Structure 1
Amino acid sequence: MISTSLSDTASPYAAALARLPVRRCEAELLGGTTRYWDYGDADAATTLVLVHGFRGDHHGLEPVVAQLEGMRLISPDLPGFGESTPMTEASHDIEGYARWLRAFVAGLGLTGRVVLLGHSFGSIVVSATLADPAAERPDAVVLVNPIGQPALQGPRGILTRLAIFYYWLAAALPERLGFALLRNRVIVRVMSIAMAKTKQPALRRWIHGQHDSYFSAFSDRRVVLEAFRASVSHDVSEFAARIPERTLLVAAVDDDITPIAAERRLRGLFPDARLVEIGGVGHLIHYEKPVEAATAIEEFLA
């Protein structure tokens, strides 16, 4: 049986996050409402815009946000996920999300140094956005757990194939049953157990609680199916050569989605990229090793 109390497990990063001022904002973009959280000093010289991964929301990157000082950090929920409503003027595919991110950043009217950060699926969205030469250019790019090769080529390609079947079945079933399957707590827990690498019981409980609370916070079946197809149909490698900005890749040695060898190859596809490898963690750097990730980001930006 899956415990219903895990979502109440205290965050190990709560105290650090509580020190940051935060403002909840929203913007009307492409026929939907994007809600975003603006952390830190609004007048800071450096602003990071953070894009979270598939089926998550802004909460997933808060452990990293909590470790970054002296910066402004703007973290939206992707359209159709978390508290953001779906787009009505674009599909929820890579092209649609790239259009959305360009519009979102432009609408912020940022000054000073601007950095785009994407985690997992967000790394594809950020890369696709910047591959357009007409996009507003940031000063630097950070990709955490970047999807560096096609998902089916990963060390657990069989799990990706199972995921493809799972989402196909969710699309084939009647609306109510398909929606229920997508939010099935047992399947969410299996996913969480498969990705977590930490041996710390308290941290594992908290990670499972985060997935219980936020992994099913999507608006409807159509959005999540469109986004899933996008997540397995594209990867950062197809856009890397068209991103001239200084880029930091923060990769996990034990990532089951993109192996570290592929991340090393990915670094060579960018005109100007640095790779930081973090050991003892898989695809959940943002939950298990946020201090190490933040340190890499700060050193890169310094």
Structure 2
Amino acid sequence: MTVPSPYADRLRRLPVVRSEVEVRGALTAYWTYGPADAETTVIAVHGFRGEHHGLESVLAFLPELRVIAPDLPGFGESAPVAGRTYDLDEYSAWLTEFAAAVAPGAVVLGHSFGSIVASAAVASGLRTPRLILINPIGAPALEGPKGVMTRLAVLYYALGARLPETAGTALLRNGLIVRVMSIAMAKTSDRQVRRFIHDQHDTYFSRFADRDVLRDAFVASVSNDVSQFAASIDVPTLLVAAQRDDITPIEVERELATRFPDASLVEIADVGHLIHYETPAEAAGAIRRFLRIPVARDR
């Protein structure tokens, strides 16, 4: 990373500890933010192609929480199991076992693809007192307003999987394509924040173990959505949605909220699919109110 975070001062105040745990036959790397004696622990699941750094900006505004942020298997510093298919069932089982190993009974949070993984796991029996979904994927990606772009992405990932390994991996890690993705998602007019977003994607968006893991995760991300699991989730759920999200329109998010037995929806204006980068303070405020946590004094 070469562009400093706009939230660097807050992040520096957070204690951070890196750990590893074996889950389903491979080591999962995870980072624990915040005080060890915090009253509330949250497990935060990042989105597609990302890793744990992506949610740090939100955590910077929640210093009173203990947050455990793993890298998904096959991304960042978490190893995959060779030959295993990483479909949604596998990621759901991984999250359930990870939570049991490091923080049973923690609040579960998921962003984007992480919202699908978290919802699937909770619907399948992962015990949590509350569920938080940031930029939840509320409808099939191929049916959204950017369905044409999603189909192009399908072709891109298919080509990356079919080319000879060296060429295919190079295509999937191509910096120009990553930058185009980043530009398409960013909505802010703040130049510093835009530079930070692009640098985050340049630095972390290609840290996948191999193209097979990336292909599996992509297929899982476009073949599933939170609406499949909403009715089966019986814990209080918070949806933090963007009014300019190109992946799941706000009208779909409003309808999605009605499918849960107990859900509340917080809408954030003038932002798209990058709430965690562009409006982290607003997201943190919604989370704090949902968890009924008093505002912490600046340290």
**TM-score higher than 0.5 here?**
yes
Residue 228 of structure 1 is matched in structure 2 by 218
Structure 1 stretches of at least 4 aligned residues deviating more than 2 Å after TM superposition: 87-91
Residue 286 of structure 1 is matched in structure 2 by 276
Residue of structure 1 aligned with 2:132, choices 128, 142, 160: 142
CA shift for structure 1 position 89: 8.2
CA shift for structure 1 position 88: 4.5
Alignment length (residue pairs): 292
Contact 2:238/2:263 (<8 A) preserved: yes
- Please show how residues 36-185 of structure 1 align to structure 2 within 5 Å: 36-88=30-82, 90-110=84-104, 114-132=106-124, 135-185=125-175
Question: Residues of 1 paired with 2:202 and 2:63: CA distance?
Answer: 29
CA shift for structure 1 position 167: 0.5
Provide the TM-score with structure 1 as the length reference.
0.95
Contact 1:30/1:89 (<8 A) preserved: no
Contact 1:81/1:219 (<8 A) preserved: yes
SS at match of 1:70: coil
CA shift for structure 1 position 10: 1.1
CA shift for structure 1 position 91: 2.4
Question: Residues of 2 paired with 1:271 and 1:199: CA distance?
Answer: 37
CA shift for structure 1 position 136: 3.5
Contact 1:48/1:73 (<8 A) preserved: yes
Q: Which amino acid aligns with 1:280?
A: D
SS at match of 2:151: helix
Question: Residues of 2 paired with 1:274 and 1:87: CA distance?
Answer: 37
Q: Which amino acid aligns with 1:165?
A: L
Residue 4 of structure 1 is matched in structure 2 by none
Question: Residues of 2 paired with 1:23 and 1:97: CA distance?
Answer: 24
Structure 2: gaps (5+ residues): 293-299
Identity of aligned residues (%): 60
Q: CA RMSD in A?
A: 1.0
Question: Residues of 1 paired with 2:16 and 2:65: CA distance?
Answer: 12
CA shift for structure 1 position 69: 2.5
Provide the TM-score with structure 2 as the length reference.
0.96
Contact 1:30/1:88 (<8 A) preserved: no
**Greater alpha carbon shift after TM alignment, 7-16 vs 80-89:** 80-89
Question: Residues of 2 paired with 1:64 and 1:137: CA distance?
Answer: 24
Residue 264 of structure 1 is matched in structure 2 by 254
* Cα deviation code 1:36-69 (max 9, x no counterpart): 0001111211001000000000000000011102
Residue 297 of structure 2 is matched in structure 1 by none
